[in-house]
Structure 1
Amino acid sequence: MILRLVLFIVLAVGLAGFGTVAWIDMHPAHPHKKAAPTIALLATGKALPPGTLLQPSDFIVQDRPPAQVPADAVRDTPANRASYTGAMIRRRLSAGALLTTDIAIRPGDHGFLAAVLQPGMRAVSVGVDAITGAAGLIWPGDHVDLLLTQNLVGANLPPTRKVAAETVLSDVRVIAIDQRLVQGASGSHTAAQSTARTVTLEVTPEQAEQVEVAAHLGPLSLIVRPSEAPKGSPSKPPPVFSGQVSPALAALDMPGQTGITVFQGATGKTEYHPQ
């Protein structure tokens, strides 16, 4: 009798424990809730003073519920990123501030150049080498040097001086790239625009004349300056001639030499031997 009672109690306790576990499994204490929908908005990753030309590195994304999205907020889309790259902000923005439709004036908007140019400055557009000016390397707001490479012609000009490179302008600001000056307001950004061919620079009237002359002398390239570089009007470096770059050409100027033979020496380095 006692044994039956004990078995009955054990069975009852087991059934109760099984039922408890099953109930907990069917009724979790913290049920998973579906994440509320959010909208991705463009914001600034750092504080920006008025007059700044926006670059891709200035953008961050803020996700907000639809109820907390201002009516004039700019959504994070490829078209909006392309459209606002190079835009000039009208007033100071703190880090994390949302971009709004009235915060910036974009290339292609009426009065863009008048707003971007500093007093007494001019805007001049130049065609640049497609490799040096590739999009992603140079952006509106960058400061650059303008480099000219030209082939020199002269009856008695030695080979060492037939090609020269020189700095035409130093430390000038890029204010627009390629077609963004006239098409930026549309927000379009196609594969054909992925390589910059025309760059608009902010220059003085005298520098604008120098650019126009340089454009007729030879190919132009842009060299990006570091953002920490001191501002001002640095002195221009002297021209660099082909003989300073190529030891082979320099050897041609050696007295009594009419030519050279070039081959890989035993050391694995290129050697130059006069004929």
Structure 2
Amino acid sequence: MGARSILVAMLGVAVAGGSAFGAREYLDRSRAVAATDPEAALVSVIVAGRDIPFGQAIQPQMLQVMSWPRTALPPGAITELDTLVPAPGMPPRRATREMAQGELILASKVSAFGEKVTIVQSLGENSRAMAIKVDAETAVGGFVTPGDSVDIVLTQGGGETLRAITILQNIRVIGVDQDANRNNDQPGVAKTVTVEVTPEQSQTLALAQKAGTLSLSLRSLENAADAPLDSIRLTDILREKSPVAEPTQSKPTIRVRRANTVETVEVE
């Protein structure tokens, strides 16, 4: 039984190694064909052969080689397979951004060989990551996922002084609890939500968390231009009647003919 297990393990390693070797050979041949394209204006580039999630190790079987117009080649585009795929026994490079199938592999979207990939790589320039304490009620019932955009509402006070105000708008969610995978669309009750903010917005959030309760308002994919919102107090919504507009009562009318002219007149 032990010998059989060892044999199965060795066979698995051999199959995996053969797959990686075959993928590398295929990419090398594809690159050679692209490089000899009769149109000198084309250059061979490496693209994602399938969707590559954030943090995924880059493997040869995930990649494809295709021809690309030299004049339209963006800065940082990877054209050499050896700069992306590790040599045998070496640690891999990892995706620091989510990449879709067919997308150009850019140097800014992959880590160095063996480099640790964290949520820091998903932040924009001069941005900060900050966590907000939430629960099922304040996090849209758990339907907020990484990649969503939200407004952040502060509720503070008590009794008739209770008020709410939207303190930040169109804020990107980059993590829910310990999960930063944008492909994860499964709802769940989180304890913290991590958002991407500017340094000034991080100060606003720090004060707001001490001042009251923060709630998230999930935005649609088509975000309209934002406008400042006034705070609303409890007394503003405690009305004698509901805010539904009452239908207007139209006055009765009669038609009056004067010579060849017909006129509609309201009856008082």
Q: TM (normalized to structure 2)?
A: 0.46
Identify which of structures 1 and 2 has the higher relative contact order when contacts are C-alpha pairs closer than 8 Å and 6+ apart.
Answer: 1
Which structure has the larger Rg over C-alpha atoms?
1
- TM-score by structure 1 length? 0.45
